[in-house]
């Protein structure tokens, strides 16, 4: 998850074609260093391992994930590296300490130290790559449409906690960001975007880097960082926006949770009871950002009638967009069958353990179905640039946050069990908020938009209505009339 240093992203249209990715494994071994305390931290996973995670054709890989989301059109392909047996993956050793060690000596310069290491690693990779080859528009910069770099730092990732073990002493926090172009960050010499082969890499406003720690503590064990984080952070690099709640001011705030890669979907797990595997099967992006990115075209519904929703994991994947009286608010419907990456969906149940303490267990769903989304484009466009699309914090235009105005989230899943009278997730006491027993609509179910209330404005169905239309009379009714899993037939009726 994590911060997105120096980038203010909002989702944009991508070219539907493979994008080159360099996976750079970075070891740290300063000259004269004797022990880990001097900042030594070496990579201990193999290049083959990362090749399989990112570029493998079998199973839950980065390539298959983006292919499944885009109907096979968009994925990351190995960048061309000279003199390697493993396409797209390069290992370098820097003769400087791990950035976490540097920051021990220079507290307050953590960004500068991190950026310095990124720049040094790219310089070390330069003899093996012709970066100018990727500057397709000859703009003098590599943009994220042209080239991406995933930097795997030896050591652990702080997103899993600040624990160490006998091999892993130093940590970084997974993030996607960019480097200042001319000034050195925090005055650290060399902490700026490097100019290599005549092009600038990862420069602020032009391109991005994506960075993770080699290992992450998950389910009590250090494991090589799972696909979920990599898919999420690279998502930022190509323009996706976080849709979880940064502020966490309101319990039960309606959000996408596991149902978007940019919510908590990076934690998907096809064997949900095994916490060590959390994040190995990331979840599809929310349909709004999928459409914005060009991964799928919506089927637009303006009229009452019958329509069919096909599984998003299948060949005929579609997303239905039902327009409403507010031109900037609409409902998106998608069919999430438990196939492909959607096998990683799960709910969370409260259980009491043998000591009488309440804990949570995760269990995969037995059956998928339709997930209904309420989109407010105005909110997304206004708040995504300040990274507050789905925030429950107060908003102040001058300080980004903290005043008396709270806005509705821009991208919301309308789980089948509905909202309470304040527009918040219903708490049944049995399942963890956001991880309900059964959020899917299927054959026999009926959806009525007026049982969903906006979290901030407390209006029914929509956040705002044009003149002449009342929240008390407006309703979108969807009957789920036929359901064979991969195809779900619905009847749409709008009362205005």
Give the footprint of Zn ion on this chain (CB under 5 A): 242
Instruction: Tell me the CB-side half-sphere exposure of residue 450, using CA atoms within 13 A.
Output: 13
Nearest CB to Zn ion, comparing residues 265 and 298: 265
Q: How far is the CB of 36 from Zn ion (least distance, A)?
A: 30
What are the DSSP calls for 133-186, one per residue?
Answer: GG-TT--SB--TTT-EEEEEEEEEEGGG-S---SS---EE--EEE-B-SSSPGG
CB 69 within 8 A of CB 295: yes
Q: Quote the CA–CA distance of 283 and 369 in Å, as a whole number.
A: 15
CB of 175 to Zn ion, least distance (A): 8
The Cβ of residue 464 has, within 10 Å, a number of other Cβ atoms equal to: 16
The SS3 of residue 9 is coil
CB of 394 to Zn ion, least distance (A): 22
Closest separation in Å from C-beta 3 to Zn ion: 8
- Residue among 242 and 286 whose Cβ is closer to Zn ion: 242
- Name the residue nearer to Zn ion (CB basis): 91 or 242: 242
Q: Based on CB atoms, which residue is closest to Zn ion, 146 or 242?
A: 242
| CB-nearest residue to Zn ion | 242
Closest distance to Zn ion from the beta carbon of 241 (Å)? 8
Q: 243: number of CA atoms within 13 Å, CB side?
A: 37
In angstroms, the Cα distances linking 453 to 388, 446, 473 are: 20, 17, 14
Task: Write down the least CB distance from residue 128 to Zn ion, Å.
Answer: 30
Beta bridge partners of 277: none
| Residue 120 vs 242, nearer CB to Zn ion | 242
Please give the C-alpha separations between residue 449 and each of 210, 310, 374, 495, 496, in angstroms, as whole numbers: 39, 22, 9, 11, 12
**Residue 247 or 487: which CB sits closer to Zn ion?**
247
Structure-token pair, residue 476: 């979108």
Tokens of 258: 């596991």
Q: How far is the CB of 240 from Zn ion (least distance, A)?
A: 8
Q: Take residue 345 and report the two structure tokens written for it.
A: 């969906």
Q: How many CB atoms lie within 10 A of CB 308?
A: 15
* Closer to Zn ion by Cβ: residue 100 or 242: 242
Q: Which is nearer to Zn ion, 203 or 243 (CB)?
A: 243
Identify which of residues 243 and 338 has a Cβ nearer to Zn ion in the complex: 243
In the complex, minimum distance from the CB of residue 212 to Zn ion, in angstroms, rounded to a whole number: 12
User: Is the CB of residue 229 less than 8 Å from the CB of residue 215?
Assistant: no
Q: How many CB atoms lie within 10 A of CB 351?
A: 11
The closest of 258, 208, 201 to 233, measured between CA atoms, is 208
Nearest approach, Cβ of residue 244 and Zn ion (Å): 8
* CA of residue 192 relative to chain centroid, distance: 26
Asked if 373 and 331 touch (Cβ cutoff 8 Å), the reply is yes
Q: How far is the CB of 208 from Zn ion (least distance, A)?
A: 12
> 242 or 376, CB closer to Zn ion?
242
């Amino acid at each position: 998850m994590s911060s997105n240093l120096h980038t203010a992203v909002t989702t944009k249209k991508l070219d539907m074609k493979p994008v080159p990715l360099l996976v750079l494994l970075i070891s740290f071994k300063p000259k004269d260093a004797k022990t880990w305390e001097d900042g030594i931290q070496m990579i201990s996973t193999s290049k083959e391992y990362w090749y399989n995670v990112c570029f493998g054709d079998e199973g839950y890989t980065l390539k298959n994930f983006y292919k499944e989301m885009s109907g096979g059109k968009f994925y990351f392909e190995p960048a061309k590296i000279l003199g390697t047996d493993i396409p797209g993956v390069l290992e370098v050793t820097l003769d400087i300490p791990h950035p976490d060690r540097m920051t021990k000596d220079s507290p307050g310069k953590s960004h500068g130290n991190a950026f310095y290491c990124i720049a040094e690693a790219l310089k070390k990779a330069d003899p093996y790559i012709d970066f100018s080859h990727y500057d397709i528009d000859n703009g003098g910069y590599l943009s994220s449409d042209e080239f991406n770099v995933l930097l795997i730092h030896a050591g652990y990732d702080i997103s899993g906690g600040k624990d160490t073990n006998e091999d892993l002493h130093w940590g970084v926090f997974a993030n996607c960001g960019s480097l200042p172009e001319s000034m050195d960050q925090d005055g650290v010499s060399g902490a700026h975007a490097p100019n290599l082969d005549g092009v600038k890499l990862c420069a602020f406003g032009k391109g991005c880097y994506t960075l993770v720690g080699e290992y992450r503590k998950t389910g009590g064990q250090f494991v090589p960082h799972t696909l979920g984080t990599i898919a999420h952070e690279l998502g930022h690099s190509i323009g996706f926006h976080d849709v979880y709640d940064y502020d966490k001011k309101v319990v039960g705030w309606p959000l996408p949770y596991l149902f978007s890669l940019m919510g908590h979907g990076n934690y998907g797990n096809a064997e949900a009871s095994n916490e060590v595997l959390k994040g190995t099967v990331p979840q599809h992006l929310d349909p709004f950002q999928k459409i914005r990115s060009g991964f799928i075209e919506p089927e637009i519904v303006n009229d009452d009638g019958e329509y069919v929703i096909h599984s998003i994991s299948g060949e005929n994947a579609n997303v239905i967009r039902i327009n409403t009286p507010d031109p900037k608010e609409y409902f998106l419907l998608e069919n999430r069958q438990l196939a492909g990456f959607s096998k990683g969906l799960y709910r969370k149940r409260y259980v009491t353990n043998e000591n009488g303490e309440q804990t949570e267990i995760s269990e995969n769903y037995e059956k998928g179905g339709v997930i209904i989304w309420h989109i407010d484009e105005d909110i997304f466009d206004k708040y995504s640039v300040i990274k507050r699309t789905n925030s429950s914090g107060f908003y102040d235009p001058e300080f980004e946050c903290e005043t008396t105005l709270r806005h509705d989230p821009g991208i919301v899943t309308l789980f089948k069990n509905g909202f309470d009278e304040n527009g918040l997730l219903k708490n049944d006491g049995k399942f963890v908020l956001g991880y309900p027993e059964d959020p899917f609509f299927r054959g026999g179910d009926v959806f009525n938009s007026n049982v969903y209330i906006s979290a901030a404005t407390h209006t029914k169905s929509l956040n705002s209505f044009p003149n002449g239309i009342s929240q008390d009379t407006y309703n979108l009714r969807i009957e789920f009339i036929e359901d064979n899993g991969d195809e779900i037939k619905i009847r749409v009726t709008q009362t205005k």
